[in-house]
Amino acid sequence: MSATTSITLFGIPNCDTVKKARTWLEQQSIPFAFHNFKKDGLTAEQIEIWLQRIELDTLINRKGTTWRALSEIQKSEANNRANAIALMLENPSVIKRPVLQINDDKLTHVGVGFNEQQYQTIFKEI
């Protein structure tokens, strides 16, 4: 990792998957900032950064309780990018967690969810 690399883990602190990712990063002594998107908020611009690198279907958690509680109209409107961003801003719990964002002088890498093997691969590459 270069000196200009910054790592941010986006999520909510009580999510089990976020806890696993935070623990893994700490055990690997990888410095990162944690962004609680319920407390600290999100912007449409931040979500757009993610969507430049990952698919909309990857970012929306269609298996969670927040998604299941949405109306059928809200669910169908989430297929439209602008509507999906508005939905994520209104209901951040519909975002699959955690979102790992790594910025360096060359590129921004975004990963969604936590899988130890995936994280090992990501951090070998940077």
**Which domain does 94 fall in, by range?**
6-125
pLDDT tens, residue by residue, 86-118:
999 999 999 999 999 999 776 788 999 999 999
Question: Is 40 annotated in the active site?
Answer: no
CATH number, domain of 28, equals 3.40.30.10
pLDDT at 108: 80
Task: For residue 1, tell me if it sits in a domain.
Answer: no
Does residue 115 sit within a domain? yes
Q: Residue 123: exposed, middle, or buried by beta-carbon count in 10 A (0-12, 13-18, 19+)?
A: middle
| Assigned domain for 49 exists | yes
Q: What is the pLDDT of residue 30?
A: 95
Please check whether residue 62 lies inside any domain of the structure: yes
Global confidence as pTM:
0.92
Residue 100 and residue 21: Cα distance in Å, rounded?
A: 9
Domains contained in the chain, number: 1
- 26-84 pLDDT, tens digit each: 999 999 999 999 999 999 999 999 999 999 999 999 999 999 999 999 999 999 999 99
Give residue 31's pLDDT: 95
What's the pLDDT at 99? 97
Asked if 88 contacts 60 with a C-beta cutoff of 8 angstroms, the reply is yes
Report yes or no on 64 lying in a domain.
yes
Which residues, at least 6 apart from 115, have a Cβ–Cβ distance to it below 8 Å? none
Tell me which amino acid residue 22 is: R
Catalytic residue selected from 5, 15, 19, 20 = 15
Backbone angles phi, psi at 25, to 5 degrees: -60, -45
3-state helix, strand, coil in the chain (%, to 5): 45, 15, 35
